Amino acid sequence: MNSGQPAPGSQASLRESNRLRVLDALRVQGAMTQVEIAGQTGLSPATVSNMVKELDASGAVELAPSIRNGRRAVLVSLATGNTLLAGIAFGDRDVRVAIGTGPRDVLASQRMPLPADHPADEGMERAARLVHDLVEKVGKSMPDVKAVCLGLPAPVDSVSGQVGSEGILPGWRGVAVASEMEGHLRAPVVLDNTANLAALGELKCGALQGIEHGVYIKLSYGVGAGLILGGELFRGSAGTAGEIGHLTIDENGPVCRCGNRGCLETFIGSRALLDALTPTHGALSLREVVARALDGDPGCRRVLSDAGRHLGVAVAGLVNLVNPEVIVLGGLLSRVGEVITAPMLASLERCAIPSAAASVSLRPPQLDTDADVVGAIAVAEERHAAAEGLTAALAAPT
């Protein structure tokens, strides 16, 4: 059978391998000169020169004049046309930004740490700086950015366009995030919840592809969920569907930052986990708890196992309500694997309707920590397509 691929070891195979090395280097490093490409790939300058000529002729790369070390140079970058899309995802302790031409074609990404409870203006300024840096890195300019989606780890009221809770992410409450970010970037900005965006990212490019009814659960400093119903992201009437972290699992439990008692987050959020370990382990970060659990620390493993048990109770209610086919468990805490998933599944089987529990499967994420920024680029793509469609409709003769 002829596969149509170059034979291994042939000149054509070697040329294809070199081509992929150049493209991969540009995808990871952004725009570079040919000398820099040679340094990154280990290919000879002559080989890089030939590859760049072929890629330019095929439209796979773009060339632009630049200055390097005071000398004229030509920057080589992946071809994007004149359309870039940006995704921004805030966590409790960081912000991650990616740019691309679509959710499957991310050109560059970057993460920047943030202090806990950072104010909105500081977060937006840092995110805008990252977007500017990445656009420059791929050899483009800000007018090429046609749409942006910004995700926050909090309920987002789609009616007001603001954070939908006084106590969750207080530094962002009352801020017109989308319009202020538009001022920083001079591009249309859409606001959404990061768990929603992660669910959408896994639906478009990851573990939820082809799934009609699924759930993405993000376990990190807090806990949230994105719901896929009928093959589409379900946001609810005001955009706040999926707030599993604020389901009450004990009405006499601790007071939550949202104002209720006994929310799931009061049992498995970072504050509850770290407080439980302080008497025996001292002050730890959540990443240290995860690392120690993976190394076999019995105290850290016990606390995370208890978190899995509580999570299973809430997930059982979710399974009874929406009867998903697949649950994807992502976020920092998901890295401990069966330490959390085994007690979670035990609680799920104990508390859910047997037929509903039997019909759902648990999957790991395929996009890991990139799911929300990939989903954000997907939303930005939808926003740009809608704007382009409206422009075409207005321009059409009546």
Q: What pLDDT, on the 0 to 100 scale, is given for residue 1?
A: 41
Burial (0-12, 13-18, 19+ Cβ within 10 Å), 391: exposed
Q: What pLDDT, on the 0 to 100 scale, is given for residue 164?
A: 65
Q: What pLDDT, on the 0 to 100 scale, is given for residue 386?
A: 84
Number of other CB atoms surrounding residue 321 within 10 Å = 10
Predicted TM-score of the model (pTM): 0.79
- Residue count of the chain: 398
Burial track 264-301 (b if 16+ CB lie within 10 A, e otherwise): bbbbbbbebbbebbeeebeebebeebbebbeeebeebb
DSSP SS3 for 63:
strand
Both structure tokens of 105: 């074609």
Q: What pLDDT, on the 0 to 100 scale, is given for residue 167?
A: 60
In the predicted model, residues of the chain with pLDDT beneath 50 are 1-6, 394
All domains of the chain, ordered by start, with CATH? Answer: 19-78 (1.10.10.10), 84-196+379-395 (3.30.420.40), 209-365 (3.30.420.40)
Which residue in this structure is represented by tokens 């599944």? Answer: 345
d(CA 113, CA 22): 30
Q: Are 257 and 167 in contact (CB under 8 A)?
A: yes
Q: What pLDDT, on the 0 to 100 scale, is given for residue 67?
A: 66
Side chain identity at 300, as an amino acid letter? C
Query: Is the alpha carbon torsion for 62, 374, 182, 383 positive or negative?
Result: positive
CA 79 to chain CA centroid, nearest Å: 23
Q: What pLDDT, on the 0 to 100 scale, is given for residue 305?
A: 97
